[in-house]
Chain A
Amino acid sequence: MTGRYTLRNLVAAALLLALALLPVYVALAQAPFLLTLFTRILILAMAAVSLNLILGFGGMMSFGHAAYIGIGGYAVGMLAHEGVYSGFVQWPVALAASALFALVIGALSLRTRGVYFIMITLAFAQMAYYMVSGIARYGGDDGLTIYKRSQFFEPLNLSNKVQFYYVCLALLFGSIYLVWRIVNSRFGLVIQGARSNETRMRAIGFATYSYKLTCFVIAGMMCGLAGALLANHTDFVSPAMMYWTRSGDLIIMVVLGGMGSVIGPVFGAVALLVLEEALSGITEYWQIILGPLLLLVVLFARGGIDGLIAGIGAKARPKVRS
C-alpha cells in the first residue's frame, strides 16, 4: 500500500505484460490451443472484474451474474441469426439488453439483503435461463450456432484469432481501468461506504439504493459485453452459458483472486481456468480435487491470491509505522 513498487503491483504488472505478450509466445512455440484457452480466460476475467465491482466493492452478493453473459451472448447470436452481423449494432444491443435486465432485477433484488439477495439473483438468472431455453426460433435448449463473427470496420477482423485476442485484452484492460476509476471516485466511495455501513450512509444523506442500482447496472453491462465476446469466441450460444454453475464459477474467480482488489479477479480467472485445464489433464475426475480445494481456500485463505501476494510483500519489507 505504501508505494507504487510494491510486490503486488509488480506481480500485477508482470501478469498483464505476460498476457499482452502471449500471442508472441504462441507463435514461437506453435501452441495455438493456448491462444484459445487464454482468449477464454480474458473474457471470463472481464466478467469476473465486473462481478467484483458489485461483490467486492459493493457488498452485493449476486449469484446470477452469468445471466448477463447469456444475454450479451444471445444478443449477438439472435441478431446474427436474423442476418445482422454488424458489431456496431450487435454490441450496443448486447449492452442495452444487459442494462435493461440489470435495471429490472436490480430494482427488485436490491429491496432485499443478505441471503435473500443471493437467492433472488440466483432465481432471476434461472428465470432468464428458462426463458432462453424456451425460444424455439433461436434453438431452445440446443443453442444456436453463429456462422459469422461480429463485423467491424475493414482491417479489424474478429475471425483472426490473434486480432480477437487483442480485442478481448483491450476490453479487459478497459474494464479494469473503468472499475479502478469508479472505485476511486466519489460514486465508488459511496458504494463502498454502503457496503460497510448502509444505515450510516443513508443518515449522512446518500440515497444508497439508487447508487447501488447504478453500480449494479454498470456491472451488468460490462458482463454483457463479456457475453458478446464469449459468443464470438465459441461461435455458439446456448442456455448452458448462463446456467447457475457459471455464476458460481465467476464468484470463485473473484474470491480466489481476492475480493475488493481491482486486479484480483484477473488472478482468480487465470488461476481457476489454468488449474481446471491442468487438473483435467491429470484425471477425468478433476472436480473431485477442485471442490475440496475451493473449500480450503474459503476456510484458510480469505484474501485470495491478491491477499497472499500483498501479505508476502508486506513481510518482505521492514515494517513502517503509519
Chain B
Amino acid sequence: MTLLIEQCLNGLQFGLLLFLLAAGLTLVFGIMDLVNLAHGSLYMVGAYFAATFAAFTGSFVFGAVLALVATLLVGMAVEVVVMRRLYGRDHLDHVLGTFGLILFFDEAVRLIWGPEGLSLPLPSWLLTSVPILPGVTYSAYRLAIIVVTLAVAVFLYVLVMRTRIGMLIRAGASNREMVGALGVNIKLLFTLVFGLGAALAGLAGLMQAPILTVQIGMGENILILAFVITVIGGIGSIRGALVAAIFVGFIDTLGRAFFPDLLRLVLSTDAASTAAPALSSMLIYLLMALVLIVKPEGLFPAGGK
C-alpha cells in the first residue's frame, strides 16, 4: 500500500515535470505555430547551467535561479537569431531547422562541459523525507517538485487568461498582423513567449537533474514524451497538456513499477525483467494511438486553428 501511494506520487511528480516541457512546446506551437524540436536542448541547457551555477555559488537555490535566468536568455537569443526567421514557414522547415539546432546544442555542450555528465547534489534540507500520511513518508525533494510545478501551472493560467500580457499573447495567436497594427510590439512579445517556454524547459531540466545525471542527449527522450503529451492533449492547449502530462506520468511510472510483476505471472522472470521496461514505454504510445483513433485532434483541441 505504501509502495502504491509512493509510486502514485512519483507518477504525479513525473507527470507535472513533463507538463512543464509540454506547456512550453504547446505554448510556442499554439501562439507562433512553430514546431520546436530543440525544446529538449533547452531542457538540457537548463540542467547544465544549474549544475554549473550551483557548484559556483555553492547554493542549490541560487544556482537554480541563475540557471533559470540564463536559460531564459538563451531561449530569447535563439528566438531572435533563428526562430524568428522560421515563423510562417512550412512545418517541415521547422523540423529540419530545429533538428540542426539540436546538433548544434549537443555539440556545443560537449565542447564546453566535456563528454562526461555532471551531477547536481541536493542540499541537505531537501534530502530528507517528510511524513505525508500517518506512517507514510515521501521524499522532500519530489514533494518540492510537485509544489513548484503546480505553482507554475497556476502562474501560467493566470498569466495567459487574466493579465494584459496574456490577452496580447492570445490576440497575437489569433491574428498577428492586427495586433501589430494596433501598436503592440509583436516581435518582442513573441521573443518573450519563446523565452518563457525555454525557461519552463530549463526549469524542468534543472529539477530533474538531481534525480538523473546531467548528460548530453538527456533532452531527447523526454522531448518525445512531451510531444506525445501535446498530441494527446491537443496541440496548443495548455489545459490538455496538463491532463495528458499527468496521465502519461502515471502510466510511465506505474507501468515501470508494477508491470514487471504482472508480466512475471505469465512469463519467465528473465524474459519479464527485460521485456517489461520496453512494454511499459510502449504503453504510452498505445495510449496516444487510442486517443488519436477516437479524437484525431487530441483531447482538448485548441479552438480556431
| B-binding residues in A (CB < 8 A) | 55, 61, 63, 108, 111-112, 114-116, 118-120, 122-124, 126-127, 130-131, 133-136, 140, 244-245, 248, 251-252, 255, 285-288, 290-295, 297-299, 302
**Which B residues from 38 to 89 make CB contacts under 8 A with A?**
82, 85-86, 89
The answer to whether B100 has its CB under 8 Å from any CB of chain A is yes
The A-contacting residues of B in range 280-300, CB under 8 angstroms, are: 281-282, 285-286, 288-289, 292-293, 296-298
- Are A136 and B275 interface neighbours, CB within 8 A? yes
Measured in the bound complex, the distance between the Cα atoms of B86 and A290 in whole Å is 18
Which residue of the partner chain, among B82, B105, B111, B293, contacts A108 with CB atoms under 8 Å?
B293
Q: Are the C-beta atoms of A298 and B100 separated by less than 8 Å?
A: yes
Per CB-CB distance, the 6 closest pairs between chain A and chain B, nearest first, are: A134-B278, A291-B104, A294-B100, A291-B103, A136-B274, A127-B285
Let me know if A252 and B274 touch, CB within 8 A. no
A251 touching B29 by the CB < 8 A rule?
Answer: no
Q: Assess A118 versus B91: contact at CB under 8 Å? Given A124-B285, A134-B275, A285-B111.
A: yes
The answer to whether A120 touches B288, judged by C-beta atoms less than 8 angstroms apart, is: yes
Give the complex CA separation of A123 and B224 in angstroms.
7
Name B's A-contacting residues (CB within 8 A): 29, 35, 82, 85-86, 89, 91-93, 95-97, 99-108, 110-111, 220, 224, 227-228, 230-231, 235, 270-271, 274-279, 281-282, 285-286, 288-289, 292-293, 296-298
Which B residues lie within 8 Å of A122 (CB)? Answer: 224, 227
Most buried by B among A131, A135, A291: A291
Contacts of A108 in B (CB 8 A): 289, 292-293
Q: Which A residues are in CB contact (< 8 Å) with B298?
A: 116
Question: Using Cβ atoms and an 8 Å threshold, which residues of chain B touch A111?
Answer: 292-293, 296
What 17 new A-B contacts, CB under 8 Å, besides A115-B29, A130-B278? A61-B91, A108-B292, A118-B95, A119-B228, A120-B288, A133-B278, A134-B275, A136-B274, A140-B274, A244-B224, A245-B220, A251-B92, A252-B99, A285-B110, A285-B111, A291-B107, A299-B85
Question: Which residues of A sit under 8 angstroms from B107, Cβ to Cβ?
Answer: 285-288, 291
Bound CA–CA A131/B276 (angstroms): 10
Q: A115-B29, A285-B107, A288-B108 are in contact. Are A135 and B275 (CB under 8 A)?
A: yes
Is B100 touching A291 in the complex (CB atoms < 8 A)? yes
Residues of A within 8 A of B292 (CB): 108, 111-112, 116, 120
A279 to chain B, nearest CB (A): 11
- B274 and A287 form a contact (CB under 8 A): no
A298 vs B101: C-alpha distance when bound (angstroms): 12
* Nearest-CB residue, chain B, relative to A137: B271
Q: A290-B103, A295-B82, A295-B97 are in contact. Are A134 and B285 (CB under 8 A)?
A: no
Give Cα distance in the complex from A248 to B270, angstroms. Answer: 34
Q: Is the CB of A131 within 8 A of B278?
A: yes
Other-chain residue from A131, A140, A285, A294 in contact with B97 (beta carbon distance below 8 A):
A294
Choice from A61, A130, A288, A292 contacting B92 with Cβ under 8 Å = A61
Instruction: Tell me the complex Cα distance, A95–B89, Å.
Output: 36
Kindly provide the distance from the CB of A82 to the nearest chain B CB, expressed in whole angstroms.
17
Given A136-B275, A244-B224, A287-B107, is A115 in contact with B235 using a C-beta cutoff of 8 Å? Answer: yes
Q: Which of A108, A126, A244 has the most CB of B within 10 A?
A: A126
Kindly state the separation between the CA atoms of A122 and B231 in the bound complex, as whole angstroms: 11
Report the minimal beta-carbon distance from A272 to chain B, rounded to whole angstroms: 12
Q: Out of B96, B228, B274, which one reaches A298, CB within 8 Å?
A: B96
Are A287 and B103 neighbours in the complex by a CB distance under 8 Å? yes
Q: Which residues of A contact B99 (CB under 8 A)?
A: 248, 251-252, 294
Collect the chain B residues with CB atoms within 8 Å of residue A295's CB: 82, 97, 100-101, 104
Residue of B nearest to A124 (CB): B285
- 12 residue pairs of the A-B complex, CB under 8 angstroms, read A114-B91, A115-B29, A115-B91, A115-B235, A120-B231, A127-B286, A134-B274, A244-B224, A291-B103, A294-B97, A295-B82, A298-B96
Residues of the A chain whose Cβ atoms lie less than 8 Å from the Cβ of B85:
299
A108 vs B296: C-alpha distance when bound (angstroms): 9
**B296 x A116 contact (CB < 8 A):** yes
Q: Is A123 a contact of B231 with CB atoms below 8 Å?
A: yes
Given contacts A134-B277, A134-B279, A294-B97, contact A123 B104 (CB under 8 A): no
A273 CB → nearest B CB, Å: 15
Least CB separation from A133: chain B residue: B278
The complex places the Cα of A115 from the Cα of B93 at a distance, in Å, of 12
| Docked CA distance A175–B80 (Å) | 42
Contact indicator A127/B104 (Cβ below 8 Å) = no
B residues in contact with A63, CB < 8 Å: 95
In the assembled complex, how far is the CB of residue A8 from the closest CB belonging to chain B, in whole angstroms? 22
Most buried by B among A119, A136, A251, A293: A119
- Whole-angstrom distance between the Cβ of B159 and the nearest chain A Cβ: 24
CB closest chain-A residue, reference B230? A119
Nearest chain B CB to A238 CB, angstrom units: 14
- Give, as a whole number of angstroms, the nearest-CB distance from A110 to chain B: 10
